[in-house]
Amino acid sequence: MITTTTVNPTIVIENLAQENESFHNDLKEIFEINTQVGWGRFNRGSMTRRAYSDPCPYLVAKVGEAVAGYIISEKNYEGQAYIPFIATNPDFQGQGIGKKLMLAAIENARKDGRTGVVFKYRGNKDHLKKFYTETIPTLAKCTFTTEDHGKFMNGDPKVGVNYEI
């Protein structure tokens, strides 16, 4: 009898860094993830500039050699960690990669002495609301506030979140 076992892939969170041999390929795969989640090319310029800045603000989730997801976390003018982008390749969604990326960014922000972790999300997406306002604050053991930031360009409600870390 043949039995098959599904093994959770090993997910490794690492810094994206120009000195890594895989840097250019990793960046290519990050842009491929953007295409797959429907973000197109509009943010490619700002994301490329961020990738070449020092220190590089990206964390990537690797499964083997492949980039399965990424998060950007950079210092804003108020000394907080600001997260402009997080995304997981749809083939790997629902496997805990988003949680690992957010928790790693929060942990880094704590180590760096940031006063909070801030970002915006689409308030009409129930899975995002649960992820950002229940799952992550519980796992990271942090309180948070939310604020109405108006609307995204397509009319989706823009909710600002501030994790107090």
Ligand X SMILES: CC(C)(COP(=O)(O)OP(=O)(O)OC[C@H]1O[C@@H](n2cnc3c(N)ncnc32)[C@H](O)[C@@H]1OP(=O)(O)O)[C@@H](O)C(=O)NCCC(=O)NCCS
Smallest distance from the beta carbon of 54 to ligand X, in angstroms? 25
Smallest distance from the beta carbon of 5 to ligand X, in angstroms? 20
Smallest distance from the beta carbon of 153 to ligand X, in angstroms? 14
Smallest distance from the beta carbon of 21 to ligand X, in angstroms? 25
Decide: 72 and 50 in contact? Cβ < 8 Å.
Answer: yes
Q: Of the two residues 69 and 116, which places its CB atom closer to ligand X in the complex? A: 69
Distances (CA, A) of 51 to 42, 56, 146: 16, 6, 28
Among candidates 41, 38, 48, which has minimal Cα distance to 72? 48
Decide: 11 and 96 in contact? Cβ < 8 Å.
Answer: yes
Instruction: Work out the number of other CB atoms within 10 angstroms of the CB of residue 146.
Output: 15
Residues in contact with ligand X, shown as a per-residue x/- string from 121 to 140 under the rule CB under 6 A: x-----xx-xx---x-----
Q: Does 105 bind ligand X (CB under 6 A)?
A: no
Residues in contact with ligand X, shown as a per-residue x/- string from 14 to 53 under the rule CB under 6 A: -----------------------x----------------
Longest dimension (CA), the chain: 62
Among candidates 125, 129, 126, which has minimal Cα distance to 144? 129
* Residue linked to tokens 């590089």: 56
Q: Does 95 bind ligand X (CB under 6 A)?
A: yes
Q: Does 97 bind ligand X (CB under 6 A)?
A: yes
Q: Does 152 bind ligand X (CB under 6 A)?
A: no
Q: Does 10 bind ligand X (CB under 6 A)?
A: no
Q: How far apart are CA 152 and CA 142, in angstroms?
A: 27
Please pick, from the candidates 60, 86, 106, 140, the single residue that binds ligand X as defined by CB under 6 A: 86
